[in-house]
Amino acid sequence: MSIPLDKPNIVVPVTDAVTLRKVTGSRDVQPWDIVEIRVDRIPEINKFHSEISSIPAPVLLTCRHPDEGGFNEMHDPQKRHAILAPLIPHAAAIDIEIASASQMSTTISLAKTSGLTLILSAHDFSGTPENKQLHSIVKNGIENGANTIKIATTTDNPDALCRLFSLFKEFPHQPLALMGMGRLGMASRLLAAQSGSILNYAALEEANAPGQWPVQEFRNLLHRTGIVD
């Protein structure tokens, strides 16, 4: 299964064995389009390869660096590669931080040769950078071969939200996944999907990041506005 880059997709993160079993056992139509496996948050992930391979939706692999919200001290690129590589045959996409792209080049090359969609990402939990820095982040993602560039920033005021969303206008032909956290986080998720954000994260159980909607409620709202079926 592949990830469409021409429409908004709803993503639910799986962060433990309980939520993994929930998405694995779902055979009816579900409110999500993509399942993200947060490899850095699931201890002994090697025990769950069979379950991951049976998820009835495109799988996005994420092993987040601690500097950008990751768990379990996943600093070492070789350790991250060793965990991610066996999962790549079961996945449709992989998310690597733009700041880690050079250190994770082996993993990126393997993902690309395996036909995965490459998502290069950046996260700011303290605020939203100024326009020049935001543009630089996108350009770095493009230079490193991203299919989609994901940027999550803290949006506590309208100015921050406007700066973040200005990227849709500045890079109209580059698939982007933009999302806010903080005080305007929930509002940002709806506006981002309506503006063309490729990846739109929602909570399967508890929110994985500030600003996430419960997935069924999120899909209902996007359906009412005609953004998703």
What is the mean pLDDT of the segment spanning 14-36? 87
Share above pLDDT 70 across residues of the chain, in percent, rounded to a whole number? 98
Q: Determine the Cα–Cα distance for residues 180 and 11; give it in Å rounded to an integer.
A: 15
Is residue 164 within 8 A of residue 135, CB to CB? The reply is no
Is residue 138 within 8 A of residue 122, CB to CB? The reply is no
Tokens coding 95: 């998310």
Contacts 24+ apart (CB under 8 A), 111-118: 112/145, 114/88, 114/89, 116/88, 116/91, 116/92, 117/2, 117/3, 117/5, 117/92, 117/93, 117/147, 117/148, 118/93, 118/94, 118/145, 118/146, 118/147, 118/148
What is the mean pLDDT of the segment spanning 137-164? 97
pLDDT band at 188 (very low <50, low <70, confident <90, very high): very high
What is the mean pLDDT of the segment spanning 96-112? 97
- pTM (predicted TM-score): 0.95
Biggest CA-to-CA distance, the chain: 45
Tokens coding 88: 């790549």
pLDDT at 205: 72
pLDDT reading at 207 higher than 90: no
Total number of residues shown for the chain: 229
Share above pLDDT 90 across residues of the chain, in percent, rounded to a whole number? 83
End-to-end CA distance of the chain: 19
Dihedral-angle region of residue 115 (phi above 0 means left; psi in -120 to 50 means alpha; beta otherwise): left
pLDDT at 51: 92
Tokens coding 39: 């490899």
pLDDT band at 1 (very low <50, low <70, confident <90, very high): low
Q: Mean of the per-residue pLDDT values for the chain? A: 94
pLDDT reading at 75 higher than 80: yes
Quickly name the fold that domain 9-224 has. TIM Barrel (3.20.20)
